[in-house]
Amino acid sequence: MDYYNKIKDELVNNETYKRVKDYSKNRNDLKTYYNVGKLLNDAGKHYGEGIIKKYSDKLTNELGKKFNETTLKRIRQFYSLIKKGAPLVHQLTCSHYQELLPLKEINKINYYINICQEQNLSKRKLREKIKNNEYERLDDKTKLKLINKEQEQEKVEDFIKNPILIKNKYNKEDISERMLQRLILEDMPSFLKELGNGFCFIDNEYPIKIGKRYNYIDLLLYNINFNCYVVCELKTTELKKEHIGQVQTYMNYIDKNVKTLKQSLTIGIIICKKDNKFVMEYVTDENVFDREYQLI
């Protein structure tokens, strides 16, 4: 087979197509690079690894520097990525896929492809999520659900990252709960994304009256996907058993005085400096969750 001329024809046709049909050029880019990647892979099997350098020299002479050796190797990597099981999603650009090339685990790759679709992520936002190890911070049970595509069994806690990353402008690790709250309020969109999908901010220091005394919920949120209020308490210490009782009291108050009959039961999230699995082991309320925070 004349691999070189087939590769050249694919690339030339794609450049022409991009000028004529700009509206669908990304779809054609992906299709072209998949086809070229397959040809490069097959040519390598027949002629050895050195064929990439030979083809890149010829293409550079005939089509310009755009298709150098590094580019051809990336195109071949792209083909290998799709062959390994990553979906060819036309909403993603070649630049998106380039960010995914260094990743080895196919389940991790597919996770990032899915959230690119769902959240319409730019290449920069995708790179940020990969850098912050978002997939690694998911619970193992959540990862298993994603692998098995058990979307109907998803729960509100599934996509709450652990640890939750919070940007720190104070340049010190020991901060007060008030300072932690301020950091969150100053970048609320990032904090809500760390919690997962569908979270909305209602208020901070939300007042509730229990008996004659007022108490204040650190953060009152709402999850529109699961139709429930979310009580979020911030602790700059290790998780303690009294923290569980506090958040349960606040959850019960919201359920009895704020929640409507059509809304689901309130959930509670305790964000602490260090978790305590021994304490959580004896918590019977399935709507209470703990997560560590990490200042970055």
Residue at 110: amino acid letter:
N
The answer to whether position 146 is within a domain reads: no
> For position 65, what pLDDT does the model report?
87
Say whether both 112 and 173 belong to one domain.
no
Spatial contact of 250 and 288, defined as CB atoms under 8 Å apart: no
The CA distance from 249 to 283, in Å, is 14
> For position 18, what pLDDT does the model report?
67
The answer to whether position 68 is within a domain reads: yes
Residue at 293: amino acid letter:
Y
- Residue 90 buriedness (CB in 10 A; 0-12 / 13-18 / 19+): middle
Q: Which two tokens stand for residue 2?
A: 């004349």
Model-level pTM greater than 0.85? no
The CA distance from 192 to 195, in Å, is 5
**Domain count for the chain:** 2
Q: Please choose, from the candidates 153, 132, 131, 133, the residue with its C-alpha nearest in 3D space to the C-alpha of residue 141.
A: 153
> For position 21, what pLDDT does the model report?
56
Say whether both 120 and 196 belong to one domain.
no
Say whether both 65 and 162 belong to one domain.
no
The CA distance from 96 to 108, in Å, is 14
The answer to whether position 8 is within a domain reads: yes
- Domain enclosing residue 36, as ranges: 3-131
Please give the radius of gyration of the chain, using alpha carbons only, rounded to the nearest integer: 25
Say whether both 68 and 157 belong to one domain.
no
Distance of CA 148 to the CA centre of its chain: 18
The answer to whether position 209 is within a domain reads: yes
Spatial contact of 39 and 6, defined as CB atoms under 8 Å apart: yes
Among 71, 96, 131, identify where a domain stops: 131
Among 79, 101, 131, identify where a domain stops: 131
The answer to whether position 15 is within a domain reads: yes
Say whether both 22 and 127 belong to one domain.
yes
Say whether both 186 and 120 belong to one domain.
no
Say whether both 110 and 189 belong to one domain.
no
Collapsed DSSP state (helix, strand, coil) of residue 291: strand
> For position 78, what pLDDT does the model report?
97
Q: Which two tokens stand for residue 118?
A: 């769902």
Q: List the CATH number of the domain containing 206.
A: 3.40.1350.10
The answer to whether position 120 is within a domain reads: yes
Say whether both 102 and 160 belong to one domain.
no
CB atoms within 10 A of CB 255: 17
Instruction: Count the residues in the chain.
Output: 296
The answer to whether position 170 is within a domain reads: yes
The answer to whether position 211 is within a domain reads: yes
Say whether both 159 and 78 belong to one domain.
no
Say whether both 168 and 88 belong to one domain.
no
Say whether both 87 and 163 belong to one domain.
no
Q: Tell me which residues of the chain have a pLDDT lower than 50.
A: 23
Say whether both 100 and 13 belong to one domain.
yes
